[in-house]
C-alpha cells in the first residue's frame, strides 16, 4: 500500500492529542445507552443459577424433578447439558485456555470446587419463580476437605482439587499429584556468581490478597437460541468475538451460528474477557425455546467470577556499593483459584523487566485452591510481582544510601537491555518516566509529621494482535468507522480521532461504532492495552485504502492518471505533472460524485498487529499514617507513564487516574476474607471496600510520550501499567513515614498498627 | 397473590403500574416501566448506581419498594435533560471526560444534582464526601469531581 498518509516525523497533528466529546457520550449521560442487563425480547424468561454452598464437595447426584414440575419453569440445566471437552491447553502459554476446565467452571461436573460454583440453572416466567425453582433442586453433596491459602495448598498433605494433576514444567514430572498446576523458570547469567559479587543483598518475603476487578456492572446477558441450531447473544464483555467462540465451543456449535451483539460494557478491567452466564443462558434458551436473560447479583460476582490471584513471594536482590544491580532472584507463588491459569508467568517476566540486571532467576508456581478461578485484572500478574520487587528495590536503595529514583535510573532498562525471557528490550521509555517524577515539584515538596513519600516503577508488555475495522464514506461525505473492539472507556473517540486525522477531515464528520460479530472481521478482546494500538492500526489502514480510492475517483473526474493525484488536508489534489491543473477537491465533493465514478466508497482492514511497545510507569505517593489507628491517608499521588502518544488526551489521563486508584484500593483495603469453612465473608461492596471519592486526592498525571515507531501515530497503550507500581509506592511511602516495612497486602489499619507497635524496622 | 396497583409520578408524568410486594423500585423502573437508565450495581445500597430521587430526596432505588412509590414523585436519569437540552452536569461530564464505561454515571449525575440543589457552591471536599456513596471503578474520580465543580460554577453564573 502506497503510504499516501504522511508519516509521523515532521507531521503536524491537528486532532490527535486533543480531547473532543466522545461519540457515544450523550446516550451515556441520559440513561439511554444499553448495557448487558438492559435488553429484553418478547416472551423472555428469567434465568437463575444454583450455586454451591460448599468450598469443596463431590456431587453424588442432582435431582431437578421438583423444579421442573413447578408451574412457570420452562427449562432446567446441569452439566449434563454441555458436551465434555478435550483436556488440552490451547494457545500461547502465557494466555492458554483449557476447555475441559472452562466447561467445569461455568457448570460444575464431578465436584464443586469453590463456594458459589454453579451446579444448575433454571429459566422461568418470572424472577421469583426462577428463584423458587432453585430451592427445589436437590443436590446430594459429599463435602470434602478444602484449602484456601496458596502456601497451604502447596503442602504435600493438602486436599487435592484434582486427584490426577501432575505439575507441568518439571522434568522429570513429579511422581504424585499436587495442587501445583505448573512451575516456570526463567534465567539469565549466573545467579550464584552474581550474588557472590554483590556488596549488599536484601531478601524479603511478601503476601498479597486476591482482589476483584470490581466493575460496577454485574455480568448479564440475553440469549435467543433456536432449535434450528442458531442463536444470538446480547452480552456485555470485553470481546464479543471471544464470547462467541467460547460459547459456541461449550455448546458444540459452529462459530458462525452464533451472533453476538456488543452491549455497552459497565467496566471489565480484564474480568470480562471470559464467560460465565452466556453459555448457561444460551443452553436454557435452546432447551426452552424462549429468550433467556441472566443477571448476576453482586454476591455472585464476588463469589463466582475471577478476582486476580493472591500470592506468596520471596525476592532477593544483590547490588554493588555504587548502586549497580548485579543479581536478582524471585520466587512467585500464585493462587490460580479452582482451575489452573493464574497470571504467574506474566509476573515472573515483568517483575525484573524494568532493570538491567546481568544475573536473574525468576520462578513461578501456578497453584489451585478452593477459590473462584482467577481472571485477568489490569496488567495481570505484573502488579503482584512489582509489589515485591519494588519494595526490595526501595530497601536496597536505603541500604546503600542512594536516592530511590536515581538508583532506578542508574539501572533502568533501555533499547538493547536483555530480558529474563530472552528477547532484548526494543523500546525506550522507562528512564523518561523516572526523570519525569524526578523533575516533578512533588518530589521535592516538604513532608509533615507522620508523613512519608514512596516511589515505585512498573512494566507491562502491551499487546497487539488481531483487529478489524471498516471505513465507509457516506453520501454526504461524512464517514462511519466500525470496529470489532468493545468501547470500555472512550475508544470510539480515539478511533474517530485517528480516522479524522488520517483522512484530514473534521472529528465531528466521523462517527465511530462497535459492530456485531456478523458485521465486522474478527477482533480480539479489549484488553492488554491493545485497542488504540492494534484496532487503531486497522482503522488507519482502512482509511489509507479509502484515500487511495478517493484519489482514484478524483483522477477519474479530472481525467488524470491515478498516480497524478495525492491526498492532502482532506482533499484530492493534482500532483506531479498535473500539479495546479485543478483546484483541490474535498472529500464531500468526491463523495457526491461516487455514483458516477464507481459507486459507494469504503474499505475494510484486518490486521494482526505486531510491534506493540511496552508501557512503563513511575509513581510517587505521599501518605500520612495515623499512629493511633494505623489508618493510612493518601495525601498526594503522581503517576508518570509512557503512553507512546495520547490520542484522546483526557481519556488517556483517565486511564492513569483510574489505574492508580485501583492500585490504592489493592494496597490499603481490598481482600477476599474467608472463614474456616471456606466461605467468603465479604461478598459485597460494603465489606469489600473499593476506594470512594472521599478517600482520595486528585491524582496527578504526567503523560510521557516516547512514540512507538510501529504505530502510525506512535501509540504504545495506556490502560494497564499505571496499576503496576501503585501498591509498592504506597508501601514504600508507609515505610518512609513509620520506618516499618509492610509486606502483606492489604495494608489495612490493624496491620499498620501492629507494625507500628512491633520492633521491626524497615 | 394479586399485584399491587401503584399510581405515581415519574419524571413529571403520571404513571401507573402493577408490582409484587417484594419488587424494589429499581426492579419496577427497569423491568415494568422500561426505564433502564437506572442501573443495578449491587442491590444492597452500597454502590449508588441506582440513585434516584423520591419527592426530591436522594435514595438508592434498590432499597425502596415499588409500592412505596404510591403518590410520590420519582426522578430518574431519563428526566434529567430538558428535551434535547442536556443538564449542565450532563454537559460537563461529557466535556471533562468524566465517564469511562458510564454505568455509574446515571447514579452519579442524579446524586450530584441533589447536591447542587442543596449546596450550589460546594468545595472539592464537600463533593467528594457527598459522592462517597457512588462507586466508580474506572475514573479514580478526578474528572467527576472536576465536572461537578465546573457545572456548579456555571449554574451559579446563570
Domain residues for A657?
A: 409-461+613-757
If we measure between CA atoms, which residue out of A408, A458, A399 comes closest to residue A204? A399
Q: What is the pLDDT of residue A761?
A: 54
Q: Could you identify the residue written with the cell 484530514?
A: A504
Partners of B41 on chain A (C-beta within 8 Å) are 216-218, 266, 298, 685
State the smallest CA–CA distance between residue A623 and chain B in angstroms.
17
Q: Copy the grid coordinates of residue A440.
A: 516533578
If we measure between CA atoms, which residue out of A234, A250, A256 comes closest to residue A283? A250
Partners of B77 on chain A (C-beta within 8 Å) are 29-31
State the smallest CA–CA distance between residue B120 and chain A in angstroms.
19
Write out pLDDT tens, residues A477-487. 999 999 999 99
CA A656, A660, A661 angle in degrees (round to 5)?
Answer: 120
State the smallest CA–CA distance between residue B70 and chain A in angstroms.
22
Chain A CB within 8 Å of residue B127 CB: yes
**How, if at all, do strands B51-54 and B73-75 pair?**
antiparallel
Mean pLDDT value across residues B88-106: 98
CATH number at residue A43: 3.90.1170.50
- The partner residue sitting opposite B135, judged by closest CB among A648, A659, A692, is A692
Q: Which domains does chain B have, with CATH numbers?
A: 4-78 (3.10.20.30), 88-157 (1.10.150.120)
Contact state of A661 with B76 under an 8 Å Cβ cutoff = no
To 10 degrees, the CA torsion angle through A125, A130, A133, A139? 140
Chain A CB within 8 Å of residue B128 CB: yes
**How, if at all, do strands A118-124 and A45-51 pair?**
antiparallel
Among chain B residues, CA nearest to A490: B100
CATH number at residue A713: 3.30.365.10
Partners of A29 on chain B (C-beta within 8 Å) are 77, 80, 86, 90, 93-94, 99, 102, 105-106, 109
Indicate the SS3 state at residue A640.
strand
Q: Is residue A316 part of a domain?
A: no
Provide the domain count of chain A.
Answer: 3
If pLDDT is split at 50, 70 and 90, which confidence band does B158 have? Answer: low
Domain's final residue, options A304, A325, A355: A304
State the smallest CA–CA distance between residue A531 and chain B in angstroms.
15
Among chain B residues, CA nearest to A700: B142
If pLDDT is split at 50, 70 and 90, which confidence band does A10 have? Answer: low
Q: Could you identify the residue written with the cell 484515500?
A: A547
Residues A442 and A526 in one domain: no
Indicate the SS3 state at residue A734.
helix
State the smallest CA–CA distance between residue B93 and chain A in angstroms.
8
- The partner residue sitting opposite A694, judged by closest CB among B99, B132, B143, is B132
Residue A12 has pLDDT above 90, yes or no: no
Q: Is residue A715 part of a domain?
A: yes
Q: Give chain B as a DSSP string.
A: -PPEEEEEEETTEEEEEEE-TT-BHHHIIIIIS--TTS--S-SSSSS-TTEEEETTEEEEGGGSBGGGGTT-EEE-GGGTSBTTB--HHHHHHHHTT--SS-SSHHHHHHHHHHHHHH-SS--HHHHHHHGGGS--SSSTTHHHHHHHHHHHHHHHH-
Write out pLDDT tens, residues B111-136. 999 999 999 999 999 999 999 999 99
Residues A473 and A455 in one domain: no
Q: Is residue A443 part of a domain?
A: yes
Write out pLDDT tens, residues A671-702. 999 999 999 999 999 999 999 999 999 999 99
Asked if B4 contacts B18 with a C-beta cutoff of 8 angstroms, the reply is yes
A746 cis-preceded (ω within 30 degrees of 0): yes
Domain's final residue, options A576, A592, A609: A609
State the smallest CA–CA distance between residue A308 and chain B in angstroms.
16
Poorest-pLDDT segment among A1-5, A207-211, A613-617: A1-5
Mean pLDDT value across residues A711-739: 98
A172 cis-preceded (ω within 30 degrees of 0): yes
Residue B153 has pLDDT above 90, yes or no: yes
Cα distance between residue A456 and residue A389, in whole Å: 9
Q: Is residue A651 part of a domain?
A: yes
Chain A CB within 8 Å of residue B108 CB: no
Mean pLDDT value across residues B11-20: 98
Domain's final residue, options A575, A609, A643: A609
The secondary structure element, H or E, covering residue A738 is: helix A726-738
Residues A221 and A127 in one domain: yes
User: How many CB atoms within 10 Å of residue A207?
Assistant: 17
Contact state of B143 with A295 under an 8 Å Cβ cutoff = no
HSE at residue A714, side-chain half, CA atoms within 13 A, is 21
Cα distance between residue A74 and residue A290, in whole Å: 9
Residues A728 and A638 in one domain: yes
If pLDDT is split at 50, 70 and 90, which confidence band does A5 have? Answer: very low
Q: What is the pLDDT of residue A8?
A: 46
If pLDDT is split at 50, 70 and 90, which confidence band does A94 have? Answer: confident
Write out pLDDT tens, residues A563-614. 999 999 999 999 999 999 999 999 999 999 999 999 999 999 999 999 999 9
Contact state of B142 with A698 under an 8 Å Cβ cutoff = yes
Residues A731 and A659 in one domain: yes
Residue B9 has pLDDT above 50, yes or no: yes
Contact state of B134 with A693 under an 8 Å Cβ cutoff = yes
Mean pLDDT value across residues A430-441: 98
Q: Computed over its alpha carbons, how large is the radius of gyration of chain A?
A: 27
Q: What is the pLDDT of residue A754?
A: 97
Contact state of B101 with A217 under an 8 Å Cβ cutoff = yes
Q: Copy the grid coordinates of residue B6.
A: 401503584
Q: Is residue A355 part of a domain?
A: no
Work out the mean pLDDT of chain A and round it to a whole number: 96
Write out pLDDT tens, residues A320-378. 999 999 999 999 999 999 999 999 999 999 999 999 999 999 999 999 999 999 999 99
Q: What is the pLDDT of residue B27?
A: 98
Q: Is residue A150 part of a domain?
A: no
Work out the mean pLDDT of chain B and round it to a whole number: 97
Partners of A657 on chain B (C-beta within 8 Å) are 139-143
Asked if B107 contacts A28 with a C-beta cutoff of 8 angstroms, the reply is no
Residues A627 and A743 in one domain: yes
Residues A628 and A588 in one domain: no
Residues A652 and A625 in one domain: yes
Cα distance between residue B57 and residue A390, in whole Å: 47
Partners of B96 on chain A (C-beta within 8 Å) are 650
Partners of A653 on chain B (C-beta within 8 Å) are 97, 142-143
Asked if A501 contacts A532 with a C-beta cutoff of 8 angstroms, the reply is no
Count of all residues that appear for chain A in the document: 762
Cα distance between residue B85 and residue B87, in whole Å: 7
Q: Could you identify the residue written with the cell 409500592?
A: B67
Residues A640 and A573 in one domain: no
Indicate the SS3 state at residue A534.
helix
Write out pLDDT tens, residues A232-283. 999 999 999 999 999 999 999 999 999 999 999 999 999 999 999 999 999 9
A6's CB contacts (< 8 A; 6+ apart) are none
Interface test with A, best of B47, B98, B138 (most A CBs within 10 A): B138
Residues A474 and A567 in one domain: yes
Residues A655 and A602 in one domain: no
Which of residues 70 through 89 in chain B touch A, CB cutoff 8 A? 76-78, 80-81, 86
Residue A28 has pLDDT above 90, yes or no: yes
Contact state of A684 with B109 under an 8 Å Cβ cutoff = no
Distances from the Cα of A534 to the Cαs of A9, A95, A232, A539, B24, in angstroms?
A: 20, 18, 27, 9, 44
Q: Is residue A250 part of a domain?
A: yes
If we measure between CA atoms, which residue out of A547, A548, A480 comes closest to residue A519? A480
Cα distance between residue A580 and residue A602, in whole Å: 27
Residues A625 and A717 in one domain: yes
Residue A200 has pLDDT above 50, yes or no: yes
State the smallest CA–CA distance between residue B102 and chain A in angstroms.
6
State the smallest CA–CA distance between residue A522 and chain B in angstroms.
23
Among chain B residues, CA nearest to A683: B42
Chain A CB within 8 Å of residue B117 CB: no
Cα distance between residue A533 and residue A18, in whole Å: 17
Chain A CB within 8 Å of residue B21 CB: no
Mean pLDDT value across residues A67-83: 98
If pLDDT is split at 50, 70 and 90, which confidence band does A3 have? Answer: very low
Among chain B residues, CA nearest to A213: B137
Contact state of A30 with B49 under an 8 Å Cβ cutoff = no
- The partner residue sitting opposite B94, judged by closest CB among A29, A217, A699, is A29
Which of residues 133 through 152 in chain B touch A, CB cutoff 8 A? 133-145
Mean pLDDT value across residues A714-729: 98
Q: What is the pLDDT of residue A11?
A: 65
Inter-chain CB pairs, A–B, below 8 Å: 188
- The partner residue sitting opposite A30, judged by closest CB among B81, B135, B136, is B81
Contact state of B137 with A25 under an 8 Å Cβ cutoff = no
Partners of A215 on chain B (C-beta within 8 Å) are 101, 103, 137
Q: Computed over its alpha carbons, how large is the radius of gyration of chain B?
A: 16
**Secondary structure of A200-235 in HEC code, one letter for each residue:** EEEEEEEEECCEECCCCCCCEEEEEECCCCCEEEEE
Q: Is residue A15 part of a domain?
A: no
Amino acid at each position: 500500500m502506497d503510504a499516501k498518509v504522511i508519516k509521523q516525523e515532521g507531521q503536524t497533528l491537528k486532532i490527535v492529542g486533543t480531547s473532543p466529546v466522545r461519540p457515544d457520550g450523550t446516550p451515556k449521560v441520559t440513561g439511554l445507552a444499553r448495557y448487558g442487563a438492559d435488553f429484553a425480547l418478547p416472551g423472555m424468561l428469567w434465568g437463575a443459577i444454583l450455586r454451591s454452598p460448599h468450598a469443596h464437595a463431590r456431587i453424588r447426584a442432582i435431582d431437578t424433578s421438583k423444579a421442573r414440575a413447578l408451574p412457570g419453569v420452562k427449562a432446567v440445566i446441569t452439566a449434563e447439558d454441555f458436551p465434555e471437552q478435550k483436556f488440552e491447553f490451547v494457545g500461547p502459554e502465557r494466555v492458554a485456555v483449557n476447555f475441559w476446565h472452562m466447561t467445569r467452571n461455568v457448570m460444575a461436573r464431578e465436584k464443586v470446587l469453590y463456594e458459589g460454583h454453579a451446579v444448575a440453572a433454571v429459566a422461568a416466567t418470572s424472577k421469583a419463580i426462577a428463584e423458587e425453582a432453585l430451592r427445589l433442586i436437590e443436590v446430594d453433596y459429599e463435602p470434602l476437605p478444602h484449602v484456601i491459602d496458596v502456601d497451604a495448598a502447596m503442602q504435600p498433605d493438602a486436599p487435592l482439587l484434582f486427584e490426577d494433576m501432575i505439575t507441568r514444567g518439571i522434568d522429570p514430572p513429579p511422581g504424585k499429584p499436587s495442587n501445583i498446576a505448573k512451575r516456570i523458570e526463567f534465567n539469565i547469567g549466573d545467579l550464584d556468581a552474581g550474588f557472590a559479587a554483590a556488596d549488599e543483598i536484601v531478601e524479603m518475603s511478601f503476601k498479597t490478597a486476591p482482589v476483584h476487578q470490581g466493575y460496577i456492572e454485574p455480568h448479564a446477558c440475553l440469549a435467543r437460541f433456536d432449535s434450528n441450531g442458531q442463536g444470538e447473544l446480547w452480552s456485555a464483555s470485553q470481546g464479543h468475538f471471544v464470547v462467541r467462540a467460547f460459547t459456541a465451543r461449550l455448546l458444540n456449535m459452529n462459530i458462525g451460528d452464533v451472533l453476538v451483539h456488543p452491549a455497552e460494557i459497565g467496566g471489565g478491567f480484564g474480568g470480562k474477557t471470559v464467560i460465565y452466564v452466556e453459555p448457561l443462558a444460551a443452553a436454557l434458551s435452546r432447551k426452552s425455546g424462549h429468550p433467556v436473560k441472566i443477571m448476576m447479583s453482586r454476591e455472585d460476582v464476588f463469589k463466582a467470577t475471577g478476582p486476580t490471584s493472591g500470592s506468596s513471594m520471596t525476592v532477593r536482590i544483590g547490588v554493588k556499593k555504587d548502586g549497580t544491580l548485579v543479581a536478582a532472584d524471585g520466587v512467585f507463588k500464585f493462587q490460580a483459584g479452582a482451575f489452573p491459569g493464574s497470571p504467574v508467568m506474566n509476573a515472573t517476566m515483568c517483575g525484573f523487566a524494568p532493570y538491567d540486571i546481568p544475573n536473574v532467576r525468576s520462578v513461578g508456581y501456578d497453584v489451585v485452591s478452593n477459590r473462584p478461578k482467577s481472571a485477568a485484572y489490569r496488567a495481570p500478574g505484573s502488579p503482584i510481582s512489582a509489589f515485591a520487587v519494588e519494595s526490595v528495590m526501595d530497601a536496597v536503595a536505603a541500604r546503600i544510601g542512594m536516592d530511590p529514583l536515581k538508583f532506578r535510573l542508574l539501572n533502568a532498562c533501555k533499547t538493547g537491555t536483555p530480558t529474563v525471557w530472552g528477547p532484548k528490550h526494543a523500546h525506550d521509555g522507562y528512564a523518561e518516566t523516572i526523570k519525569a517524577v524526578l523533575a516533578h515539584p512533588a518530589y521535592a515538596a516538604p513532608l509533615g509529621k507522620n508523613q512519608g513519600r514512596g516511589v515505585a516503577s512498573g512494566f507491562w508488555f502491551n499487546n497487539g494482535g488481531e483487529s478489524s475495522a471498516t471505513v465507509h464514506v457516506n453520501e454526504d461525505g461524512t464517514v462511519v468507522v466500525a470496529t470489532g473492539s468493545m468501547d470500555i472507556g472512550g475508544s470510539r473517540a480515539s478511533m474517530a480521532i485517528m480516522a479524522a486525522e488520517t483522512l484530514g477531515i473534521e472529528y465531528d464528520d466521523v462517527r465511530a461504532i462497535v459492530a456485531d460479530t456478523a458485521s465486522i472481521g474478527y477482533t480480539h478482546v479489549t484488553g492488554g492495552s491493545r485497542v488504540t494500538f492494534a484496532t487503531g492500526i486497522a482503522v488507519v489502514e482502512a482509511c489509507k485504502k479509502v484515500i487511495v480510492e478517493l484519489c482514484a475517483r478524483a483522477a477519474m473526474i479530472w481525467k488524470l492518471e491515478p498516480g497524478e493525484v495525492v491526498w492532502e488536508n482532506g482533499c484530492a489534489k493534482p500532483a506531479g505533472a498535473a500539479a495546479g491543473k485543478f483546484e483541490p477537491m474535498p472529500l464531500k465533493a468526491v463523495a457526491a460524485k461516487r455514483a458516477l465514478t464507481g459507486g459507494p466508497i469504503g474499505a475494510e482492514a484486518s490486521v494482526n498487529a505486531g510491534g506493540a511497545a511496552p508501557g512503563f510507569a513511575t509513581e510517587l505517593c505521599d501518605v500520612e499514617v495515623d499512629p493511633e489507628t494505623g489508618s493510612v491517608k493518601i495525601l498526594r499521588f503522581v503517576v508518570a507513564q509512557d503512553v507512546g502518544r495520547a490520542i484522546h488526551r483526557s481519556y488517556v489521563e483517565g486511564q492513569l487516574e483510574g489505574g492508580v486508584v485501583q492500585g490504592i484500593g489493592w494496597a490499603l483495603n481490598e481482600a477476599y476474607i474467608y472463614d474456616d469453612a471456606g466461605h467468603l465473608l465479604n461478598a459485597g461492596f460494603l465489606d469489600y471496600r473499593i476506594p470512594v471519592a472521599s478517600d482520595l486526592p486528585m491524582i496527578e498525571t504526567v503523560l510521557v510520550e516516547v512514540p512507538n515507531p510501529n504505530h502510525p501515530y506512535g501509540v504504545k497503550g495506556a490502560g494497564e501499567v499505571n496499576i503496576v507500581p501503585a501498591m509498592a509506592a504506597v508501601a514504600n511511602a508507609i515505610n518512609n513515614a513509620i520506618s516499618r516495612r509492610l509486606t502483606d497486602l492489604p495494608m489495612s489499619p490493624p496491620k499498620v498498627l501492629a507494625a507500628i507497635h512491633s520492633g521491626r524496622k524497615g | 397473590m394479586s399485584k399491587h396497583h401503584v399510581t405515581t409520578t415519574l419524571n413529571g408524568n403520571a404513571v401507573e403500574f402493577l408490582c409484587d410486594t417484594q419488587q424494589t423500585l429499581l426492579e419496577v423502573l427497569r423491568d415494568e416501566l422500561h426505564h433502564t437508565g437506572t442501573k443495578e450495581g449491587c442491590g444492597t445500597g452500597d454502590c449508588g448506581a441506582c440513585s434516584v430521587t423520591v419527592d426530591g430526596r436522594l435514595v438508592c432505588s434498590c432499597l425502596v419498594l415499588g409500592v412505596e412509590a404510591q403518590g410520590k414523585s420519582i426522578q430518574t436519569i431519563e428526566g434529567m435533560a430538558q428535551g434535547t437540552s442536556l443538564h449542565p452536569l450532563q454537559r460537563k461530564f461529557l466535556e471533562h471526560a468524566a465517564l469511562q464505561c458510564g454505568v455509574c454515571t446515571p447514579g452519579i449525575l442524579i446524586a450530584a444534582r441533589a447536591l447542587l440543589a442543596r449546596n450550589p457552591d460546594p468545595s472539592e471536599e464537600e463533593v467528594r464526601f457527598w459522592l462517597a456513596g457512588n462507586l466508580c471503578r474506572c475514573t479514580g474520580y478526578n474528572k467527576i469531581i472536576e465536572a461537578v465543580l465546573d457545572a456548579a460554577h456555571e449554574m451559579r453564573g446563570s
